[in-house]
Amino acid sequence: MRRNQALGKYGEDIAEQHLRHLGMEIITRNWRCEVGEIDIVARDGQTLVICEVKTRSSHDLGTPAEAITPRKLRRLRTLAYRWLDDQKIFFPLVRIDLVSVIQPVWGAPEVDHLKDLS
C-alpha cells in the first residue's frame, strides 16, 4: 500500500470513529460504482449522510475543504442518488458532509466536520 493510500485509509478510520462518537450509524465504507466512490455512508437519525473524507499531513497544499469543488459536490449528489437506487432504500433527508483529518508529523490528528455541504 502506498503512503497516500495508507494515509487515506487512516483518515477514513479516524472519520468513522468521529461519526460513531457523534452517535451516527455507519452503513458502509468505500461504496463504488462507475460514477465514483462514497467514502462513508452513515445514518444520523432519519438522515442519510454521504460523507467525503479528506486526509492531509499538512495544510501546505490547501485545506481539505478546498478540495470540494462544485464538480465534486455534484458527483457526490449523483453518488447519493445512485446508492439509494442501488439499495432500494428511502430516507426522508439526505445530506453531504465533509470530515477532514490533518495528521501532522507529530501529535494527534486534527478532525474537522462540516455538515451539509449542499
CATH code of the domain in which 71 resides: 3.40.1350.10
Identify the three-state secondary structure at position 78: helix
* Grid coordinates belonging to 54: 479528506
53: domain range?
A: 3-114
Averaged over 2-19, what is the pLDDT? Answer: 89
Q: Which pTM does this prediction carry?
A: 0.92
Residue 96 has pLDDT above 90, yes or no: yes
Reported as a single tens digit per residue, the pLDDT across 38-63 is: 999 999 999 999 999 999 888 787 88
CA dihedral (62, 64, 70, 75) in degrees, to 10, reads 140
Residue 28 has pLDDT above 90, yes or no: yes
